[in-house]
A and B are shown apart, each in its own frame.
Chain A
Amino acid sequence: MRIALFSDIHANLPALEACLKSIEEQKPDAIYCLGDLVGYNIWPNEVINEIRKRGIPTLAGNYDQGIGLMSDECGCAYKTEPEKDMGKISISYTNSLVKPDERKYLRTLPAHIKVELQLNNDKLNLLLVHGSPRKINEYLFEDREEKSLLRIMEQADADIMCFGHTHKPYHRILPTEQTENTHYRHAINIGSVGKPKDNNPKGCYVILTINTNSSVNNKDAVQVEFIRFEYDVEKAAKAVEDSPLPNDYADMLRKGF
C-alpha cells in the first residue's frame, strides 16, 4: 500500500498543480491532504476546488478553521509585531477572497483521520492530524523531546502519526521497550506544498509505503519518502507582489523560509 500525503498548500495554486501532477505519476493507492489549504496567496478558492473535485480526504488546518469561521484569527504563532501585522493582512485578504460555498467546505473538514490497518493478526494505527492530535495548531518540531512525542502518540493510540503545520519535514522513529519486543512508533512531518520553511523553495509531499509484513515491532515497517518537486515559484511570488499581501511573503516563497 502506497499512500500519498500532502499538506499546507496555503493558496499556492502553481505549487498544488505541480504536486498533484507528481502524485499522479507516483500512482499511489490512496491520497490524503492534511489541511491548511488557504492563506498567504491569491488562490484559496482554486486550491479548495482542485482538491474537492478529486474527492481527496482532507483535514481542517488552523488557517482553514479561521477562514471557515470568518474569523480574524488563524491560530498561527507569529513571533514579532511585524509578523503579526502581516498575518492580519493575510487573513483579512483571504476572508475577502473566499466564496460562500468554499467557506462552507472548510467549515466541514474533519480534525483527524484514523486508518486502522490489520496486518499479520495485529493492528497498525495510522493517525493523520494537522498540528497534533490535541491541538490543530500545535507545532511539533523535529527537536521535540522524545518523551513528549511518545506521550502524544500513546494517548492518541497512534503507531504512525503524520502531520504538517510547521512546514519543516522530518521522520522520527520512536522505540518503546516492551516485555518481549520493541514497539516502534513513527512521527512524520510531511512538510509543505506551497510554503516550505526548510530553506528549500521546492514543494514537499510524502509517499508512505506499508508492506504486508509491516508491524509495530518492525522498525522498518513503513518507508517514508519525502518528494521535493519543482513548481513555478516565480509565478506564485509575483502573484503575492501584485496583490494586497505583504511582499515579504513572496520573498519567503523564493527562499523557502
Chain B
Amino acid sequence: MQFPSDYKYSKEHTWLHVESDTGTIGITEFAQSELGEIVYVDLPAIGKSFAKDEVFGSVEAVKTTSDLFMPVSGKIIEINTALKDNAGVVNTESYTKGWMIKIQLSDTSEANSLLTSEAYQNLVG
C-alpha cells in the first residue's frame, strides 16, 4: 500500500498535497480499499468554503457510503469532474487521477497539524 511522502494525511483518511497556497485533496489508498468498489463521489460547488473537519462531500461505494471531511480549511477552486463518469478511478489511482477537490487554503499553517506519511502509515497499519 502506498503513502506518498510529500503528502499530508488526516485521521479521517483524506490526503492533502500543498503547492503554495493551493491544496489538492483526495482519499487515501487505505480508505478506498476499506470502502470497496466506488460508484459515485458527491462533490461540493466551486466557490464554497469549508472549515477544517467539516463534511465537504460523500463517497458512495457498493457496500456502504462515507462522508468526506476537510483535512484543512479552505475555499473550493476546482473539483475533479472526471469522477462523475468514472468514480472507479478513486479505487485505482487514489493519489493521482482520483483527486477530488482543489482548495485555496485559508491558513497554510493548518497543514502542519496533519499527519506525515509515516505517522499515517502507523495509524492504519
| A-B complex is real | yes
A residues touching B (Cβ–Cβ < 8 Å)? 75, 77, 131, 134-135, 137-139, 144-145, 147-148, 151
B36: A residues at CB distance < 8 A: 77
**Which B31-45 residues have C-beta < 8 A from chain A?**
36-37, 39-40, 42
Residue count of chain B within 8 Å CB distance of chain A? 11
Chain B: CB-nearest residue to A62: B62
* A151–B58 alpha-carbon span in the complex (Å): 13
Residues of A within 8 A of B60 (CB): 148
Q: CA separation between A92 and B41, bound complex, in Å? A: 34
User: Which single member of B42, B62, B64 contacts A135 (CB below 8 Å)?
Assistant: B62
CA distance A22 to B37 in the complex (A): 38
Instruction: Give every chain A residue within 8 A of B37 (Cβ-Cβ).
Output: 135
CA A137 to CA B61, docked complex, whole Å: 10
Q: Does B86 contact A (CB under 8 A)?
A: no
Which 10 A-B pairs give the minimum distances between C-beta atoms?
A: A77-B63, A138-B62, A135-B62, A139-B63, A137-B62, A135-B39, A134-B39, A148-B60, A138-B39, A148-B65
Q: Which residues from chain B sit less than 8 Å from chain A, CB to CB? A: 36-37, 39-40, 42, 58, 60, 62-65
Most interface-central of B37, B42, B63, B64 (chain A CB within 10 A) = B63
Do most interface residues of chain B lie in helix, strand or loop, or is the interface mixed? strand
- In the complex, what's the smallest C-beta–C-beta distance from B58 to chain A, in angstroms? 7
What residues on A are CB-neighbors of B65 within 8 Å? 144-145, 148
Rounded to whole Å, the gap between the CB of B67 and the closest CB of chain A is 9
Q: Is the CB of B42 within 8 A of A139?
A: no
6 more A-B residue pairs beyond the given contacts A131-B62, A148-B58, with a C-beta to C-beta distance below 8 A: A75-B62, A77-B63, A134-B39, A135-B39, A137-B62, A147-B42
15 A-B pairs (CB sep. < 8 Å):
A75-B62, A77-B36, A77-B63, A77-B64, A134-B39, A135-B37, A135-B39, A135-B62, A137-B62, A138-B39, A138-B62, A148-B42, A148-B58, A148-B60, A148-B65
Interface hub of B36, B58, B62, B64 (most chain A Cβ within 10 A): B62
Shortest beta-carbon distance from B65 to chain A in Å: 7
Residues from chain B with a CB closer than 8 A to the CB of A138 are 39, 62-63
Interface pair A139/B62, CB less than 8 Å apart: yes
Nearest B-chain residue to A134, judged by Cβ? B39
Distance between B48 CB and nearest chain A CB, rounded to angstroms = 16
Residue on B with the closest CB to A147? B42
What residues of B have a CB within 8 angstroms of the CB of A148 in the complex? 40, 42, 58, 60, 65
CB-based contact A77/B42 at 8 Å: no
- A231–B13 CA distance with the chains assembled, in angstroms: 46
Tell me, rounded to whole Å, the shortest Cβ–Cβ distance linking B15 to chain A: 24
Closest CB in chain A relative to B69 CB, distance in Å: 16
> When chains A and B are docked, how far (Å) is the Cα of A135 from the Cα of B37?
10
Cross-chain contact of A77 among B39, B58, B62 (Cβ < 8 A): B62
Task: Please give, as numbers and ranges, the residues of chain A lying within 8 Å of B40 by CB-CB distance.
Answer: 134, 148, 151
- The distance in angstroms between the C-alpha atoms of A214 and B121, with both chains bound, is 56
Q: How far is the CA of A120 from the CA of B52 in the complex (A)?
A: 51
CA distance A131 to B64 in the complex (A): 12
Are A139 and B64 closer than 8 Å at their CB atoms?
A: yes
